[in-house]
Copies of this chain bind each other. A is one copy, B any other.
Amino acid sequence: MPLIGEVRAVTAGAAMLADQVRAEQLRVDWRPPIDRLSPDPMVEAANRDAVGRMLAARPAWVGLGVATDVIPRMRSDLLLHSGPPLRLDQASGPMRGALEGALRLEGRDSADLDPCHHHMAVGPMAGVISPSMPVVVVEDRTSGLRAYSNLNEGLGKVLRYGANDETVLERLRWLARVLAPDLARALKAGPIDLAAINQKALQMGDELHNRHRAATSLLFRELALRGLPTDSLRFIDQNDYFYLNLAMAGAKAACEAAAAVPAGTLVVTMARNGTEFGIRVSGEPSRWFTAPAEVPVGLFLGSYTQDDANPDIGDSAITETYGLGGFAMAAAPAITAVVGGTARSALDATLEMYEITLAENPQHQIAALDFRGSPTGIDVRRVVETGVQPLINTGIAHRQAGIGQVGAGLVRAPLEPFVAAFRHFNVPQ
């Protein structure tokens, strides 16, 4: 299946799609299961309930704290990482780079590993959250569920892309020493309504995975009015990705609200650890369905090439799980300058994702589609039945530890985890 750009008029092109799906099926050695899921009133009702909770979510930034103080079951000898569970000996270069950097930051020789997602947390790229790191606390004001993420470090040589030299660690120390206390003081004036920022930003050219210039600007306005000191304002001003981690934590809270509903086939997590891609499904959210992570195809910085690209990595696909990012590309044609494609292919990406989602989020209106809500709530059954793989836009890390970002691009979620989930839930329990 092409990433994007070759699919035209998807909503009217079922036949063409079917051809592409067949080609894809051969490639991944997958056949449609004979025992297709017939409409099951219990599953339908569970999915309606679950996606309703996702749509009703109203994320707000409510606080800031140290990871060990606020993240559930966080420990001083634990490092969190992105994606499904990972053994250190399976870790890719950038994941090892980030873990090594975090150990040095903590002054430790070793630590246990756990996925962020097992602690209501999310982290972009390597997604490493270490015990002393400051983290944002984001609450879905509807469900009351809270989710967590670290603070965005900016671009270039940063821990989340696997860089770990002294400049990287010094920046992380500055975040903890200066920025985090400043932000904590600003938040004492009350929560910041991320749902409202998301809504506006989607009409200002952000898709809220790899383009956050509008959301970061709107957040900056709020923080400046709350008297955030100039040094901290300047750090945010120099990093139009600052909002990413807040968008992710908001999406995580919204998706977990949907995960509280059993018996459904709604995808509540898509995440990658640089080695494997995994999903969690509302019917049994304690279980991961995984497959090897694909390598994103994209545009590269400087002299880097596709050969330098690590396989897909990061919890940031929680934005697509919530109907943002690749699913909302129609709102953000300018992102094609970063991840590749054309204005038409960005529009088509969103139109295609309506094929595999249960709802349109009225909070996330896309002006270029005459204010249609973004496609939200991936149904495992629809992915398997249509063969349409969720589209994720993402940063690309160098495959070696210690280097950093080499580009950004697009990647399709592998079909296998969806097929495995489909089969799992199709067998009477």
Contact = CB atoms under 8 A, between A and B. Distances in A.
Interface of A: 200, 203-206, 213-214, 217-218, 220-221, 224-225, 227, 230, 233-234, 237, 332-334, 336-337, 342-343, 367-371
B343 A205 contact: no
Contacts of A218: 217
Task: Give the 10 A-B residue pairs with the shortest CB-CB distance, closest first.
Answer: A334-B367, A217-B217, A333-B367, A224-B224, A203-B334, A204-B205, A204-B204, A333-B368, A343-B368, A205-B205
A179 to B, nearest CB: 15
Contact of A204 (B213, B237, B336, B371): B213
A334 to B, nearest CB: 4
Given A367-B343, A368-B368, A224 B220 contact: yes
Contact of A234 (B220, B225, B332, B337): B225
A115 B216 CA distance: 40
Contacts of A367: 205, 332-334, 336-337, 343
A337 B369 CA distance: 12
Contacts of A227: 230
DSSP class of A's interface residues: helix, strand, loop or mixed?
Answer: helix
Report how many copies the assembly holds.
2
Nearest to A347: B368
Contact of A214 (B214, B233, B332): B214
Given A203-B334, A221-B237, 16 more contacts: A200-B213, A204-B205, A204-B214, A204-B334, A205-B214, A217-B218, A220-B224, A221-B221, A225-B234, A225-B237, A332-B367, A333-B368, A334-B367, A343-B367, A343-B369, A368-B368
A204 B332 CA distance: 8
A331 to B, nearest CB: 9
A238 to B, nearest CB: 10
A200 B205 CA distance: 10
A417 to B, nearest CB: 33
A205 B368 CA distance: 10
Given A205-B205, A213-B200, A230-B227, A371 B221 contact: no
Nearest to A226: B230
A367 B204 CA distance: 12
B225 A217 contact: no
Contacts of A230: 225, 227
Given A342-B370, A343-B367, A225 B214 contact: no
A350 to B, nearest CB: 12
A333 B237 CA distance: 26
A243 to B, nearest CB: 12
Contacts of A213: 200, 204
A82 B181 CA distance: 50
A390 B368 CA distance: 23
Nearest to A224: B224
A217 B204 CA distance: 11
Contacts of A342: 370
A369 B230 CA distance: 37
Contacts of A371: 337
A299 to B, nearest CB: 14
Contacts of A368: 333, 343, 368
A333 B233 CA distance: 30
Nearest to A240: B200
